[in-house]
Structure 1
Amino acid sequence: MSVPLRRIFLASLLRRRLASALSLLAIALGVALGLAVHLIHGAALDEFGRGMRAVAGKADLQVVGPRDGFDEALFATLARRPEVAAASPVLEIEARLPGREESLRILGVDLFRVLRVQPGLMPLAEGGGDLRFAALRPGVVFLSDDARQRLSAPGRSMEGEVLPPALVDARIAVQSGVRSLVLEAGGRVPGAGGVLGVMDLGAAQQAFARIGVLSRIDLRLAEGVSPAAAQAALSALLPPGIALRTPEAAAGELGSLSRAYRVNLTMLAAIALLTGGFLVFSTQLLSVARRRREFALLRALGLVRAELMRGLLAEGATVGVVGGLLGVVLGHALAAGAFRLVGGDLGAGFFRGVAPQLAFDPAAGLAYLLLGVAAGVAGTWLPARAAAAVAPARALRAGEGERAGLPRGDGRGRLGAAMLVLAALACLLPPFGGIPLGGYAAVVFVLAAAILALPVLARLVLPLLARGRSAIWRLAHARLAAAPGQAVVAGAGVIASVALAVSMAIMVNSFRVSVDEWLAQVLPADLYVRASAASGSGYLDPPALVAIAATPGVARVETTRLVNLRVSDTEPLFSVLARATQGNRGLPLVSGSMEPVAGDAEGLPPAWVSEAAADRHDLARGSRFELPLGGRMQAFRVAGVWRDYARQHGAALIERRDYVALTGDDRVTDAALLLEPGATPSAVAQALRERFGAEHITIALPGEIRALSLQIFDRTFLITYLMEAVAVVIGLFGIATTFAALAATRQGEFGMLRHLGFTRAEIGRLIATEGALTAGLGVIAGLAGGAAIAWVLIEIINRQSFHWSMELAVPWSGLAIFAVCLVLLAALVARLAGRHAMRRSAVLAVKADW
């Protein structure tokens, strides 16, 4: 394309400053949201992986098992193998700091072996003293520089109160069971990053009552032995529930845990970008319609169709490039803000405790920039093709510029029906690699069907609104009825944004209501007591349970033990809850019953599996299911399936007596207290705090747990709410740009109305009424499309991503308020957008039409 032609086309973007600015801003928002999600997750995963690699050191392979550890006898078996040059045993403890929300990750290591495999964990004695004597003293921990800095700063209690530093005079208190244990900071771990401490393995096992238990074994292979060959030779020696993997696999496992959540957020950002593409489409279509005579003149002067189309596509690409660059900058800014506000866990807790650093990612930035360019070019392609197909002689006729080029608004019903059929077929597709690609395709098809159905909706609805109205109403109605293509152009972005917002509102409300009802079912007791989170250093042992049961006001104590197992080498940790199951207290069954399967010839103990476990392992009532417990595979008979929103990758509930008999583990994670008549929860809680110390146990009422859980739920969907707001703003941008462009082409019409007696204020109300009618049609189509998309989200995408079912709960009042407000905002935006066209003199406006 020649330089003069390039200037002609690109100069049109400067003449349409408002439309161009809103289009590139819409693309920028879509690019920014998608890039921010990518950067946040990538930085958090990189930081986690970096920490894992630093801890693993020179290890080629790691032997890992349940989160609570495995028998240390396996270490001797592996250390003697010829494939292994050096083996280093590790006990990992998430040590709770009594009364504080912080915890300290403590690694128990063999100080005589760690240097050969994990030199970064080699401690340095304080003042350069003899490490052997320092390490052999009981209760000595060596802290990383990050840990020393963090623990030397003021902390916070579980209630949010500011507390003095945890590390005072080189001493720190940690919790073991329901008692405090004071450790001496004997030196540094200069080669380790993150908040962690290193202890002698035997000292750690003794201090935290983990005698004979390891969390993992790091292996450095012999010269010439590949990791693949070592895995093939050593895997047969491992008991059930123990996996042999590379150190990098830990980051991959965490990435798989957060993948579904991240993909859903990325798809929401893609829909926001798609909505921006609709905005580019509407603005370009109106621009092409207004410039038909200009293009016809250029064609008559020798411009060929291909050059005209390339020029228009260059306009769209320019909008995409500028919007994409702005989006890349904004995406990095959003990621930096997210790190400050919610950390690197995407609001969902996947990377809690990780403090990632934002880094510029050229490849990701370029990829999202190209997506912005693609959105701009795709939005321009149809208008450009239509402009290139118009005959110059026809376009040069007077009056062609106002409505020509807009879609006629008919003949789209069959295509819309075909889109719905494709959406239904896409819903039947299984997930691909755990990602519901068919569900996302169905969302796109439903969006297309809703937009294609807009002309049909206009023909059905507009005749119902034609009577008994003012002159302004009748003029606005007649305008839309005569030019339904205007509604199509202005309504496309509205439909996309409303459908996204409505579908997410229905899905999130359904999820929230279902979670609230689920919490009411799983929290049937009067009071709940725990010493620390699952797999932490705090736990309730038999003496503690006896003391709790003897507390005045306690009628009965129901206990739960939560452990996390590896049911296979390739899957994330699987949760097992051990508790008494009589009476179906707190188990929301969706199928089966609390009674064991009748006629079980094998006499297997019963197990109740979550929906995620049932989907992942193809289980139903009566199925046989094996779990690695006590160092061997134990078979169970599935007696029912229950709803579980807490554990995405599956859980099973078994009888506590079966668990204790198989494992010998009599620890308890949580205790649910049923109180005697007349006993108050506050009095019982106070008695327990006096007995154990308020810093050693956490006591909560069911209502408090529900409130906190719903607060976490709302934080998890914070980014979702942001994307909904962005989509609505983009839809309003579409209304603004459409009516600004239409008002510029209707100056002759407005001048004639002024001569007939209309004031500027009345013409403003006319434009506002047209905007309200157009937005109303878009809102109706968007509500219908949003309802269909919500069904896809709940029944297809959510089920295939997270394996959760939920009950449909439509927020009728909220949607009604949203629809009314959006129509009113659209009327205001249309009125403001058309103000410039009304400033012109009525005489000049009419004269320009002759």
Structure 2
Amino acid sequence: MKLAPVFLGSLARRRVATLFSLMAIVLGVALGMAVQAVHEAALSEFGRGLRSLAGQADLQVVGPRGGFDEGLYAQLAARPEVADASPVVEVEVKLAGREDTLTLLGVDVFALARVTPLLLPRADEGGERFAVLADDGIFVSAAVRQAFGLKSGEAIRLQVGATDVTLRVAGDLPAAGDARRLAVMDIAAVQARFGRLGRLTRIDLRLVDGVEPGAVRDVLQGVLPAGVLVEAPEAAEDQAANLSRAYRVNLTMLAAMALLTGGFLVFSAQALSVVRRRTEFAFLRAIGLSRRTLFGWLVAEGAAVGLAGGLVGTALGYGLAWGALVLLGGDLGAGYFSGLTPQLQFQPGVSVAYVALGMLAGVAGAWLPAREAATVSPAQALKAGDEAALLGGRGHPVCGATLLALSVAACGIPPVDGLPLGGYLAVACLLAGAVMLLPAVASGVAWLLPARGPVPARLALARLGAAPGHAVVAAAGVLTSVALAAAMAIMVASFRDSVDQWLNQILPADLYLRAGKASGSGYLDEDLQRRIAATPGVGQVAFTRHESLRLAAGQAPVALIARPVSKDGSELPLAGRVHPGGEGPQVWISEAMQDLYGWQPGQQVDLPLAGRRVAVHVAGVWRDYARQTGAVMIDLGDYRRLTGDRLANDAAIALAPGAGASQVADALTTMAGARALEVARPGEIRAISLRIFDRTFAVTYLLEAVAVAIGLAGVAASFAALAAARRREFGMLRHLGLTRRQIGWMLAQEGALAAGVGVLGGLLTGGAIGLVLIEVVNRQSFHWSMDLHVPWGSLALFGVGLIALAALAAVLAGRQAMRQDAVLAVREDW
């Protein structure tokens, strides 16, 4: 440890370079830790809520959103394997005058006590003895009381589409926790008041002691109608984890790219430190310090920066996670866990892992400079002028080209457990290969540019051609940060443009009406549909029915959309060829259905409709950016003929000639009265959708800005160290007649050239990474395709601005070195 002041003390002497390296590592670790902590907290709370809902149930019988025949309850309760069965009706409702929704469960309180005791309601003090059986009494969780300010005995109005019900707060749910917005009523009251007569949403089953759930599941499944499945209670938790996992992993990969930028900045700082301290290292080697010891201490410098960055980043990550939970409620900006109020929990194992990642980034950045320093002979290093020799040489073009080829091959790797690991590998290979090719790119740029003009310009160009390794040190951080920013800009621009076009295509009507915010539970009955169509100013109305399908155990429900669709599907945002005709009704599937279930256009498949399997023909594939789990679209006429369901959830309204949209909207709202019907114009829906889109990518925009700022700061730090190492060169140039202004111009052009090489490499690499994100990562993660849209103007302006800032940073960094008297600088060579 006697050498600690010599090596670790150097970090304090080069504070600026160390600080920027530390900041990049802190950024990467903090973002990764924050995403992990938020997701784990939300998923833990979500799972706790599901476990309270499931209670002691061994299995759950679940069906489509609209429910299934309640006759199944008596059939299952009579099975010898079943000890107890608890029927449940679930309805999503909202309070009148409020936009927030809550989950209302209709339960049989006597069966509930045996299967799901955590949901047992408790009547308020002084309440009626049989309040739990009253048809107007509702029992709410602490989260509902807090969110809506409800008091015992207070009358509340609940709305579901056209249904408006007035109830009384009769008590609470003491064991339901305070993080889930939940309410409970008697099941008969819910069925009668909310139009669910004869329907159940779920049946919780507690099996006889000694009966294994896995063994009895297949037996029970055989007696259930099509579309009704038997699942383990934890299946919903696994489905939620799978849905949000891709989003979380993609955010974590962005944090990893920021961490990689930090590693390159450590590399730059250590490389320049090695150049400046070559004489010092040579002296230590001459007095007996071994190569291995020198290598170890130099790696320890990088490890110290990484350890500090990991510790600070982990602490900051928890702070960011706390802020995200307060502001976003744990939904990660994407709505996966909306409505929950999870609590942040300290995770020792995960924290240690992220601290280790920070240290690994520091070690990786210091490895190559340490190896270069340990291999230089003391005699060569003690020679005057050797300080300008930088590592990197001409780069490793063969290794770089090999990595680029491997990135192409990695794109063909199929997803592993739903994650695009091949895409992530391709991104890593592209970044590593680009950095290895950077010196070759610098030499090529120097060879292509004409060696004419003023002396400072020719000197700057000659230096770029003679010492391309400088480009690696000065531009490695720029390349990675620019590649990150360009790739995300291309991906986000392509996604946003595709979503915009998709919204324009699926929203062709003049007005849209839906049965309240809780559209899954609200509906428009036939009488209301006729009144909507007869409203003055309404020309044509196309109604839509939303349902869900249970296609496979363990898989999330698939959306079923019934709306008027032409034979060729020309009004849909189609992806690929169509195959109209075939036997049976036509359906149109989303890209997620194609990826998750393997359905193809022209194929005959079975859909569970109205409790039976119906053979349908897949006519084509359409883009659906709203549902990650898959969607099936069928013509409304075919759906009603097959199911007998005459209800609707939404209506697309085309105005009659001369009718005004505002007047028709007011007429529809007046016709609905106090019922929860919402009317919106396509422009309003589009603006809200794009606002949600921008909110989802807010973390991405922030990461881009910070990564670029750190990359630019790394350029400034690199040129500051380079200028200090070249003080003898500046002195000689002054003796040869160059003025300070000319040397300043030379430095400005060197900075511009080095940054230009980094920006060029970063834009090319970012374009390739953007393609990987669009064609591989997003398709395998979310099952969405999109059209390529490159923001040429923004990228060009960004590149030019970055080069100009780098030139200015190089000049400012070299001013300190140019202040030294030219004679004193040259005397160091005598």
Normalised to the residue count of structure 2, the TM-score between the two structures is: 0.96
Stretches of structure 2 lacking an aligned partner (at least 5 in a row): none
Equivalent residue for 1:824? 804
Q: d(CA) in 2 for partners of 1:469 and 1:221?
A: 88
1:425 is displaced (CA, Å) by 1.0
1:151 to 148, 153, 178: 148
1:57 to 39, 55, 58: 55
Q: Is the 8 A contact 1:535 1:563 kept in 2?
A: no
| Range that drifts further, 530-539 or 789-798 | 530-539
Go from structure 1 to structure 2 and tell me whether the alpha carbon gap of 1:450 and 1:95 turns closer, same or farther (over 3 Å shift): same
Q: 1:441 corresponds to which letter in structure 2?
A: L
Q: d(CA) in 2 for partners of 1:168 and 1:473?
A: 81
1:459 to 427, 434, 443: 443
| Range that drifts further, 623-632 or 473-482 | 473-482
SS state at 2:33 partner: helix
Equivalent residue for 1:15? 13
Go from structure 1 to structure 2 and tell me whether the alpha carbon gap of 1:538 and 1:434 turns closer, same or farther (over 3 Å shift): same
Deviation per CA, 1:153-199, whole angstroms, max 9, x where unpaired? xxxxxxxxxxxxx7796011111441421111111221112221110
C-alpha RMSD of matched pairs (Å): 1.9
Equivalent residue for 1:272? 258
Q: 1:338 corresponds to which letter in structure 2?
A: A
Residues 591-740 of structure 1 aligned to structure 2 (within 5 Å):
591-593=576-578, 596-597=580-581, 600=582, 603-693=583-673, 696-740=676-720
Equivalent residue for 1:398? 384
Stretches of structure 1 lacking an aligned partner (at least 5 in a row): 153-165
Q: d(CA) in 2 for partners of 1:330 and 1:215?
A: 43
Residues 370-409 of structure 1 aligned to structure 2 (within 5 Å):
370-403=356-389, 405-409=390-394
Go from structure 1 to structure 2 and tell me whether the alpha carbon gap of 1:292 and 1:662 turns closer, same or farther (over 3 Å shift): same
SS state at 2:781 partner: helix
Residues 37-186 of structure 1 aligned to structure 2 (within 5 Å):
37-132=35-130, 134-152=131-149, 170-186=154-170
Q: 1:306 corresponds to which letter in structure 2?
A: R
Q: d(CA) in 1 for partners of 2:701 and 2:547?
A: 34
Q: Is the 8 A contact 1:523 1:586 kept in 2?
A: no
SS state at 1:114 partner: helix
Q: Is the 8 A contact 1:592 1:640 kept in 2?
A: yes
Q: Is the 8 A contact 2:84 2:206 kept in 1?
A: yes
Q: d(CA) in 2 for partners of 1:167 and 1:734?
A: 58
Q: Is the 8 A contact 1:68 1:535 kept in 2?
A: no
Deviation per CA, 1:712-736, whole angstroms, max 9, x where unpaired? 1111111111221232123213212
Residues 805-824 of structure 1 aligned to structure 2 (within 5 Å):
805-824=785-804
Q: 1:421 corresponds to which letter in structure 2?
A: A
Equivalent residue for 2:324? 338
1:664 is displaced (CA, Å) by 2.6
2:349 is equivalent to residue 363 of structure 1 = yes
Q: Is the 8 A contact 1:491 1:735 kept in 2?
A: yes
1:467 is displaced (CA, Å) by 4.3
Q: d(CA) in 2 for partners of 1:263 and 1:781?
A: 26
Q: 2:349 corresponds to which letter in structure 1?
A: A
Q: d(CA) in 1 for partners of 2:144 and 2:97?
A: 18
Q: d(CA) in 1 for partners of 2:309 and 2:377?
A: 33
SS state at 1:590 partner: coil
2:749 is equivalent to residue 769 of structure 1 = yes
Q: d(CA) in 1 for partners of 2:326 and 2:822?
A: 55
1:483 to 455, 463, 467: 467
1:806 is displaced (CA, Å) by 1.1
Q: d(CA) in 2 for partners of 1:359 and 1:841?
A: 59
2:209 is equivalent to residue 209 of structure 1 = no
2:409 is equivalent to residue 425 of structure 1 = yes
Equivalent residue for 2:455? 471
2:226 is equivalent to residue 240 of structure 1 = yes
Go from structure 1 to structure 2 and tell me whether the alpha carbon gap of 1:30 and 1:428 turns closer, same or farther (over 3 Å shift): same
Q: d(CA) in 2 for partners of 1:835 and 1:216?
A: 74
Equivalent residue for 1:295? 281
Q: d(CA) in 2 for partners of 1:388 and 1:818?
A: 39
1:79 is displaced (CA, Å) by 1.6
Q: d(CA) in 2 for partners of 1:365 and 1:128?
A: 50
2:587 is equivalent to residue 589 of structure 1 = no
Equivalent residue for 1:161? none
1:761 is displaced (CA, Å) by 5.2
1:441 to 410, 425, 428: 425
Go from structure 1 to structure 2 and tell me whether the alpha carbon gap of 1:663 and 1:535 turns closer, same or farther (over 3 Å shift): farther
| Range that drifts further, 474-483 or 837-846 | 837-846
SS state at 2:8 partner: helix
Q: d(CA) in 1 for partners of 2:155 and 2:440?
A: 75
Q: 1:588 corresponds to which letter in structure 2?
A: P
Q: 1:808 corresponds to which letter in structure 2?
A: L
Q: d(CA) in 1 for partners of 2:651 and 2:138?
A: 31
Q: d(CA) in 2 for partners of 1:778 and 1:557?
A: 57
1:561 is displaced (CA, Å) by 0.8
Q: d(CA) in 2 for partners of 1:535 and 1:684?
A: 21
Q: 1:393 corresponds to which letter in structure 2?
A: A
1:391 is displaced (CA, Å) by 1.6
Q: 1:427 corresponds to which letter in structure 2?
A: C
SS state at 2:3 partner: helix
1:230 is displaced (CA, Å) by 3.5
1:755 is displaced (CA, Å) by 4.4
2:394 is equivalent to residue 413 of structure 1 = no
Q: Is the 8 A contact 2:443 2:464 kept in 1?
A: no
Q: Is the 8 A contact 2:565 2:571 kept in 1?
A: no
Equivalent residue for 1:263? 249
Q: 1:561 corresponds to which letter in structure 2?
A: R
Q: d(CA) in 1 for partners of 2:726 and 2:245?
A: 51
Q: Is the 8 A contact 1:605 1:658 kept in 2?
A: yes
Q: Is the 8 A contact 1:124 1:131 kept in 2?
A: no
Identity of aligned residues (%): 56
SS state at 2:417 partner: coil
Q: How many residues align?
A: 827
1:781 is displaced (CA, Å) by 1.1
Q: d(CA) in 1 for partners of 2:166 and 2:256?
A: 52
| Range that drifts further, 363-372 or 8-17 | 8-17
Q: Is the 8 A contact 1:96 1:538 kept in 2?
A: no
1:764 is displaced (CA, Å) by 3.9
